Amino acid sequence: MLRNNPWLEATLVITVLILATALIAVSGADLAVSSRFYNAGGWPEGELFPWKLLYHVDRYPAVLLAVGGLCTAALSYRIPAWSHWKKGGVFLTLLLILGPG
């Protein structure tokens, strides 16, 4: 049933995600779980390698992936052998543009 109707599948997935988000927001489950791991003293290992390096280069991998996805999607219109990469390239680009916001 869902394979024949992608709009129904998308609607169901979005509905489930919205309901789950609302449930977590109302119940405070995210804060309850994260409070088990919170350390008021900070994260002492954060000043060590490789965590310090990852902190400084944080956005470059995401930008590289987004540009790669955009280039792949654009080239898939010019190169027929890449036509199966269209959706993946667009998805990756949109995920990295809209997701972190």
Look-up of token digits 């190169």: 79
In angstroms, rounded to a whole number, what is the distance separating the alpha carbons of residues 37 and 77? 47
Q: In whole angstroms, give the CA distance from residue 53 to residue 61.
A: 13
pLDDT number for residue 45: 78
Q: Domain extents for the chain?
A: 1-38, 45-101
Write the pLDDT tens digit of every residue in 49-100. 998 898 899 889 889 999 999 999 999 999 999 999 999 999 999 999 898 6
Question: What is the token pair recorded at 46?
Answer: 């954060």
What residues have CB less than 8 Å from 7, skipping those under 6 apart? none
pTM, entire model: 0.53
